[in-house]
């Protein structure tokens, strides 16, 4: 089972530099320690023998490997034949982590402790971009074509429009890599959490009980709660509260409804309880939130 690299986005990982290297028989990957950037290797022809710390990989055509910026990389054997491989250096300005196991692309519902609160509903919502550290590409030719287009643009990368084109192509590279995870058997835990989240979003205006959610999904409420805690970092009730508050923020900005009506529109029976929950999550009352964005 491959390691999964998880990037908290936005910001998205960004392209730095890339190329196509041609190794002769006997050549090997350089030994490097903590280079500070991610190094994506994709083999087009031959075989490359690369190690990262205690792990060793034999990269054959159509295989991709992401070397971490904080690890020791080395070639543990010379190439046995002529070997062509793409290399792409990239980095992220956001947080990232590595863990062993299956990945999922579920949205992050709870901000990290100490992170700034969103000022309004149009701020970017953080999510997880997950990439396999080692993978077999389902359509190598498509990946090769993307990388060839990126490399061809390197010569004029000093132009703003070219840099924009390169970044757009690089995001397609990441999408193809992420797609190899989705083609693997999906985690039952992730599937349960996603079904629960979808149900809560569709019925957020209604009174939803744990038993009702369990009957709809045909899972025990305790199991559903564990799945959502693992995938979203919160219980079903907290997920529902947060989603209701996000809908309330939209109504505060787009309508002149009273606070009491907004509370009712998003599923709260008591305006006072709505106001207390809103203040807890946003750091200011619904009225203060609305006034902050009113035109003077």
What pLDDT is recorded for position 124? Answer: 59
What pLDDT is recorded for position 70? Answer: 93
Strand order in the sheet with 134-136: 14-23, 83-91, 38-45, 63-67, 134-136
Question: How far is Cα 273 from Cα 119, in angstroms, rounded to an integer?
Answer: 21
Domain end, chosen from 182, 207, 241, is at 182
Do 13 and 160 lie in one domain? The reply is: yes
DSSP 27: -
Q: Is 127 exposed, middle or buried (0-12, 13-18, 19+ CB in 10 A)?
A: middle
What pLDDT is recorded for position 102? Answer: 52
Do 53 and 197 lie in one domain? The reply is: no
Do 222 and 122 lie in one domain? The reply is: no
Count CB neighbours of 107 within 10 A: 12
> What is the mean pLDDT for each group of 10 consecutive residues in the chain (296 residues)?
83 94 94 93 96 94 95 94 96 88 48 42 69 92 96 90 94 93 68 92 92 92 92 89 92 91 94 94 90 68
Do 95 and 165 lie in one domain? The reply is: yes
Structure tokens at 221: 């409420």
Domain end, chosen from 155, 182, 209, is at 182
DSSP 53: T
Domain range spanning residue 102?
A: 3-182
The domain tally of the chain equals 2
Do 212 and 263 lie in one domain? The reply is: yes
Do 21 and 153 lie in one domain? The reply is: yes
Do 214 and 138 lie in one domain? The reply is: no
Q: Give the closest residue to 20 by CA, choosing from 152, 120, 118, 163.
A: 152
pTM of the model: 0.65
Do 12 and 76 lie in one domain? The reply is: yes
Distances in whole angstroms, Cα of residue 166 to Cα of each of 8, 104, 137, 151, 169: 21, 26, 21, 9, 5
CATH of the domain at 87: 2.60.120.280
Domain end, chosen from 157, 182, 207, is at 182
The helix (H) or strand (E) run that includes residue 189 is helix 188-202
Task: Work out the end-to-end distance of the chain between its first and last CA atoms, rounded to an integer number of angstroms.
Answer: 57
Question: How far is Cα 97 from Cα 4, in angstroms, rounded to an integer?
Answer: 8
What pLDDT is recorded for position 117? Answer: 43
What pLDDT is recorded for position 186? Answer: 60
Residues in the chain: 296
Do 175 and 205 lie in one domain? The reply is: no
- 294: Cβ–Cβ under 8 A, 6 or more apart, which residues? none
What pLDDT is recorded for position 123? Answer: 56
Do 164 and 216 lie in one domain? The reply is: no
CATH of the domain at 197: 1.10.10.60
């Amino acid at each position: 089972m491959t390691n999964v690299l998880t990037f908290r986005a936005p910001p998205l990982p960004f392209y730095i530099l890339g190329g196509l290297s041609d190794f002769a028989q006997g050549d090997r990957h350089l030994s490097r320690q903590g280079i500070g950037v991610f190094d994506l290797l994709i083999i087009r022809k031959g075989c490359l023998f690369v190690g990262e710390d205690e792990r060793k990989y034999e990269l054959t055509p159509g295989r991709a490997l992401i070397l971490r910026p904080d690890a020791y990389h080395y070639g543990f054997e010379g190439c046995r034949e002529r070997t062509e491989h793409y290399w792409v250096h990239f980095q992220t300005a956001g947080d990232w982590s590595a863990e062993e196991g299956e990945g999922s692309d579920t949205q992050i519902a709870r901000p990290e402790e100490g992170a700034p609160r969103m000022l309004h509903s149009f701020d970017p919502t953080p999510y997880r971009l997950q990439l396999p550290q080692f993978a077999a590409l389902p359509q190598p030719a498509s990946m090769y074509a993307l990388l060839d287009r990126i490399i061809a643009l390197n010569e004029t990368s000093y132009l703003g429009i070219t840099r924009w084109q390169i970044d757009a192509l690089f995001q397609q590279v990441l999408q193809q890599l992420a797609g190899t995870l989705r083609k693997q058997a999906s985690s039952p835990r992730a599937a349960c959490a996603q079904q629960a989240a979808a149900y809560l979003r569709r019925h957020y205006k209604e009174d939803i009980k744990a038993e009702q959610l369990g009957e709809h999904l045909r899972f025990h409420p305790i199991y559903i709660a564990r799945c959502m805690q693992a995938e979203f970092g919160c219980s079903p009730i907290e997920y529902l509260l947060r989603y209701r508050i996000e809908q309330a923020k939209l109504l505060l900005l787009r309508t002149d409804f009273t606070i009491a009506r907004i509370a009712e529109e998003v599923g709260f029976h008591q305006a006072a309880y709505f106001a207390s929950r809103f203040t807890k999550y946003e750091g200011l009352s619904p009225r203060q939130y609305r006034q902050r964005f009113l035109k003077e």
